[in-house]
Amino acid sequence: MAPVTEFITLALKPDLPAAEATSILEITASTLVAQPGCLRVRTSRTHEDASDARIFVDWENVTAHRAFEKTEAYAPFKARVRDAVAAPPQRPYHVEFDPFPPAVLANSGSASKTPVAEVLHIWFPAEYSDDSRKRSADTVREFTRNMLQFAEGMTGEWALGWSVERDIDHDGAPSSVLVLVLGWVTVEAHMKARDHPEFAKNIPLLKNLEGLKGLEMKHVSTTTVEPSS
């Protein structure tokens, strides 16, 4: 089975003190990274909303994640998360990134090349065919190559992958998702690139994708926790 990145979205309580929010993410990461088959955990609150937390967990495969859900550590893990959120979390899902691991999501530390990662969810119907998946992924790669030609402030790191699941809840309907992660030096650099004349020519590649249900974009700057050796 292929390695995957688990996506967890947490809507933290708005009145949760910043220190407590940080502690919740740190404890969550330390619990996950201690599990067999967990390769690393990256956490961040989005630049757009400090109460919107994202956790990216690299697993050897989906089976390793499912095994964690059957351990004694899982129930107290869920309880800690439940106490910190304003609403029940969305069911996590898994993305098969190319390249793996997605270095573009490593946004801290001396080895990091990307301070800010743009995480773009490109939503499609649940029944999207394999042929359609391939065509859309090829088009998104073309979009990315074009961006790299004109957009100042891109780091050159990026990753693309489809969700393993095809029944993710999106606007009340089962869906699949293609996730594109682009590296930027700052959020402002990304916003400036969107004002470039070439962007207006390039963005239709995404907006006209076959069967497109929607686009969702956030920026993160993650902290990474690796298993202890």
Give the rounded percent of residues in the chain with a pLDDT score beyond 90. Answer: 86
Check whether 38 has a pLDDT greater than 80: yes
Domain ranges in the chain?
4-97, 103-219
Instruction: Work out the average pLDDT over 126-138.
Output: 97
With a cut of 80, say whether residue 189 has pLDDT above it: yes
Q: At what angle do helices 74-84 and 18-33 cross, to 10 degrees?
A: 160
Q: How many C-beta atoms lie closer than 10 Å to residue 179's C-beta?
A: 22
pTM assigned to the model: 0.96
The architecture of the domain spanning 103-219 is 2-Layer Sandwich (3.30)
Say what the alpha-carbon torsion angle 122, 99, 198, 216 is, to the nearest 10 degrees.
Answer: 20
In angstroms, rounded to a whole number, what is the distance separating the alpha carbons of residues 56 and 173? 23
4-97 and 103-219 agree in CATH topology = yes
**Under CATH, to which class is 4-97 assigned?**
alpha beta
Q: What percent of the chain has pLDDT over 70?
A: 100
What pLDDT does 229 receive?
64
- Model pLDDT for residues 89-108, shown as the tens digit of each residue: 889 999 999 999 999 999 99
